[in-house]
Amino acid sequence: MKFFIDGADIAEIKALCAMGVVDGVTTNPSIIAKTGRNFQEVIGEICDITSGPVSAEVAATDAKTMILEGKHLAKIAKNVCIKVPLTEEGLKACYALRQEDIMVNVTLCFSSVQALMAAKAGATFISPFIGRLDDIGHDGMQLIEDICQIYSNYPDLTTEVLAASVRHPLHVKQVAEIGAHVVTAPANVIRGLINHPLTDKGLDIFLKDWAKTGQSIL
């Protein structure tokens, strides 16, 4: 399973990449706006940190402009993945950009048939939003399961399921069990996968016992 960081905090991305657990990064205009920095500069800097896909979202809503913006953003680095919304215009843009071998992440997916349409349009990734569905009383995890099942029925579909709107470590565990190809999560959720109180307790005991010996490895 691939792990993407959902964010634009350069320090956090560098720190997690240093552990070898990061396969890519997803961003959106809202996330980058919070940095107060230039959108394209941030994307470029992230692309310098990781060689994996870095999702950069278009701002337009019509296909023609989305395609122009997508091509422009793709010039930032070879690992830029253009993010487009799951609309008719977005699918047109997805198809056109994929014809030029530009990676595309189709976002804001909330149904399995939407995901099927994105795959037909050639999407590199489909981003179903788990948390946002849960927020309105729907089962976001069932959506991941349904999409994975549909895609598995048709080997010619190469679109990867990128579980998004992940809120906590349990979401990561569940999508991994289902078989999603990728999960994107904020840095704090990824760090939450590492931490466990018994690990901390055990380490504390080992260190105290080692200190009593008065020895040094180096």
| CA angle, residues 60, 133, 94, in degrees to nearest 5 | 30
- The number of beta carbons lying within 10 Å of the beta carbon of residue 132 is 15
Tell whether 218 is covered by a domain.
no
* Percent of residues, the chain, with pLDDT higher than 90: 99
Summarize the confidence of residues 185-211 as an average pLDDT.
96
The mean pLDDT value of the chain amounts to 97
Q: Give the Cα separation of 179 and 175 in Å (integer).
A: 6
The pLDDT value recorded for residue 29 is 86
Q: Give the Cα separation of 136 and 155 in Å (integer).
A: 33
Tell whether 63 is covered by a domain.
yes
Confidence label for 194 from pLDDT (cuts 50, 70 and 90) = very high
Confidence label for 80 from pLDDT (cuts 50, 70 and 90) = very high
Tell whether 98 is covered by a domain.
yes
- Which two tokens mark 119? 């795959």
What's the domain range around 199?
2-213
Annotated catalytic residue 2: no
Number of domain units in the chain: 1
Summarize the confidence of residues 165-181 as an average pLDDT.
97
The pLDDT value recorded for residue 152 is 97
| Tens-digit pLDDT profile for residues 2-42 | 999 999 999 999 999 999 999 999 998 889 999 999 999 99
- List the CATH number of the domain containing 10: 3.20.20.70
Q: Give the Cα separation of 164 and 107 in Å (integer).
A: 9
Tell whether 208 is covered by a domain.
yes
Tell whether 76 is covered by a domain.
yes
- The number of beta carbons lying within 10 Å of the beta carbon of residue 15 is 14
Q: Is pLDDT above 90 for 136?
A: yes
Summarize the confidence of residues 127-134 as an average pLDDT.
96
Catalytic hit among 34, 64, 71, 83: 83
Tell whether 57 is covered by a domain.
yes
Confidence label for 185 from pLDDT (cuts 50, 70 and 90) = very high
Q: Give the Cα separation of 3 and 6 in Å (integer).
A: 10
| Tens-digit pLDDT profile for residues 37-75 | 999 999 999 999 999 999 999 999 999 999 999 999 999
pTM of the full structure: 0.94
- The number of beta carbons lying within 10 Å of the beta carbon of residue 73 is 23
| Tens-digit pLDDT profile for residues 99-112 | 999 999 999 999 99
The CA radius of gyration of the chain, in Å to the nearest whole number, is 20
